[in-house]
Structures are given as structure tokens and as C-alpha cells.
Amino acid sequence: MFLNQLKDFSTKKIVKNQLPDSCTPPSDSKVETVGILFDETYVVRHDDIIEELVKNGIKRENISILVYRAPLKKNETVDYPFFTPRNFSWTATIKKQDVQDFLARHYDLLISYYDVEKAPLLLISHLTKAGFKVGFSSVDKRVHHFMIDTVSENYKLFTDELFKYLKILNKIA
């Protein structure tokens, strides 16, 4: 337990040192591809959020997800890409292929769907190649271009606000 907390502290310190004082400028491209980073500790409605994106004009095949979760139980299986705290080294390097595949793709929009700062989530959000990054206002402001002030349990409000501002910013039709 203590070693996990120490590892988490080490990873968070590395991430905070890597973050610039402000986020890189967002791209002007339209949103076609979307990457979503979930924290399953608080959000278990992946499909509901994806359905909201599809209703608002994002094609399902253009949506990629990656889920942060507690380690699997012995006979538990999941049908989506995920990672756990065990997939990170003390030096904040990533050991899991699902995470490396997620980071290798470029997204027009990254949705960091977590409202509690955790070092692995911050690291993935920071390393993801995305033209426009959106997250919750309770997370470090240097990670995202745009923050929405709500809680993760209210996914409907989050998606409504997201698409309202994407239209204002001329990111979608």
C-alpha cells in the first residue's frame, strides 16, 4: 500500500514537471476522431457517453476509448482497452500495449472523463496527441484546452455543454 502511494507520488511529480505553464494551442481542425479517457472508479457508463457523442454526429468507428480501472479480479474479463496502476513504472513509463496504441493515434478531440486527479490519468492526457483536449475544471488546468465545470456523474450535462461550445468554436457543423 505504502509503495503504491509512493509510486503514485513519483509519477505525479514527473507529470507535473513535464507540463508546461500553459497548454499548447488548440488546432483549428474540425472534430472527426475522438479519444475518450475514462476513470472507471467513478464512471461506469461508457456506452451512455458514447451514445451521446454518436447522437451529436460523431461516427462510432471514429471513437476510441481507454479506461483506467482497479486491477482485474481473477476470472474477470473486459471487452474494452484498459490500464491499471500496475502498468506504470516508477519513472512514469508505460508498459501496456493498449495504452501505447491509444497514445500512437492522433485525435481531433480528447475527452478526459475524470474529475479526480490521478497521476496515470494526467500522464495519459498529457501524452495523447490531440488537437483539442477537453476535461473537467477540477483537474490541472495545464492539461486541457477547455474545461467544463460539472461532476462526472452528470454525463448528460457534460456532453450538452461540450457540444454547445464545440459549435460556438466552430469545431463541428
H helices within the chain, ranges in order?
Answer: 2-18, 46-55, 97-104, 119-127, 155-168
Residue 8 has pLDDT above 60, yes or no: yes
Gap between the Cα atoms of 31 and 147, Å rounded: 17
Instruction: Report the alpha-carbon distance of residue 87 to residue 96 in Å, rounded.
Output: 6
Query: Strand, helix or coil at 113?
Result: strand
CATH topology for the 2-18+31-168 domain: Rossmann fold (3.40.50)
Question: 148 vs 87, which has greater pLDDT?
Answer: 148
Contacts of 126 (CB under 8 A, 6+ apart): 15, 18, 19, 143
| pLDDT tens track for 123-144 | 899 889 999 999 999 888 888 8
Per-residue pLDDT reduced to its tens digit, 63-105: 999 999 877 677 777 788 988 888 887 777 888 899 999 999 9
Instruction: Decide which of 89 and 37 is more confident.
Output: 37
pLDDT band at 158, cuts 50/70/90? very high
Share above pLDDT 70 across residues of the chain, in percent, rounded to a whole number: 91
Nine-digit cell at 67? 479506461
